[in-house]
Amino acid sequence: MKGLKVLQYYAKRSIFQSRHLSLSLSAKSNQNVRIGFAGLVGNTPLVRLNSMSEETGCEILAKVESANGGGSVKDRAALFLIRDAENKGLLRPGGTVVEGTAGNTGIGLAHVCNALGYKCVIFMPNTQSKEKIELLETLGAEVRPQPVVPWDDPMNYNHQAARYADSIDNAVWTNQFDNTANKQAHIETTGPEIWSQTGGKVDAVVFGTGTGGTLAGVATYLKEMNHKIHTELADPQGSVLYNFIKHGKLERSEGSSIAEGIGQGRVTANLKDAPIDDAHVVMDTDAVRMTFRLLHEEGFFVGASTGLNVAGAVKVAKDLGPGHTIVTCICDTGSRYYAKLYSREFLQSKNLLDCIPEAYQVSLH
């Protein structure tokens, strides 16, 4: 009886909130008022990173994706994945959204599910930060951490998410890696925003990638606007994508990375056939150093994936030479990685402490 009442509650709530989302999406644009959570996804600021710009003689610009309603770039994909499921009739009022995620997509999905009255179940690698797990639980998601195994293992967390969604009524596995609604989010929002905010004066975009959605979507849109724009991948050590783009081989670069949510062992459907011009391996030493530079020189408290993005952008700027405009993104905030990334003991265990300028180590606990 209690379970029936819970289902009825979510069904009524979902109908009510879906109507309000429809109103928000069809409402006349108002720059001063955003309608509901969906109105807080996208249209993020573009900021100049002064130290990096002066160092390179280029304009190093970053989309501040932490300004999205759920605090990360993945909010864009989360909203589009759920809208895609609704439009295809795969998700009815009161239903359950299931995803395999390293954290940020799950956090975005949990926010959207709360706004629309859906339940949310997240399968994730058990190596992810405790901050992400605790935040997901606070948002009401059911979190199921899983041991890390390769993609081709049936116990991979993504395959477990798919099986679980199939096992219950009115549930959808949003499949962020291979559902191209993820890429579409960036074709329709991030790419056009960058083009508009730069007045079309952008020479290169640089992103790390996990699902491939951000890089592929932005690259697809911007190449249509100007085929001369450089679209480049910043890849963490231990990922296969650098060698795939440079040499057409799915071979991992040396090492493994502490950065969460980026790097890949395969080519996802979102990344397939994306117009990417070049790739660069960004070592953890460079990503972590840049993470602390961003805090102490620019005032941005970020994670290692953002450090990797900006380090990649600086590399591309130096390759292109002064006078160019390079765009990347601030993925989220450092609060999601504080326990490890800002831990002296953890960094020392990974031989990364010495890459941080001594004056900046004051930020470590």
8 Å CB contact between 248 and 254: no
Angle of helix 304-320 relative to helix 284-293, nearest 10 degrees, comes to 100
8 Å CB contact between 186 and 221: yes
CA gap 91, 227 in Å, rounded:
38
- Spell out the residues 6+ positions from residue 167 whose beta carbon is closer than 8 angstroms to its own: none
CA gap 250, 273 in Å, rounded:
15
CA gap 325, 202 in Å, rounded:
5
CA gap 277, 107 in Å, rounded:
31
H helix and E strand count, the chain = 14, 10
8 Å CB contact between 66 and 85: no
CA gap 67, 208 in Å, rounded:
19
Instruction: Please confirm, yes or no, whether 315 is among the known catalytic residues.
Output: no
Q: DSSP labels for 15-32?
A: HHHHHHHHHHHHSPP-TT
Q: Which is the catalytic residue, given 2, 5, 74, 201?
A: 74
8 Å CB contact between 259 and 198: no
Three-class SS state of 93: coil
Q: How do beta strands 230-236 and 142-146 pair?
A: unpaired
Q: How far is CA 175 from CA 79, 80, 127, 215, 348, in A?
A: 13, 12, 20, 17, 36
8 Å CB contact between 227 and 279: no
Q: Which residues are catalytic?
A: 74
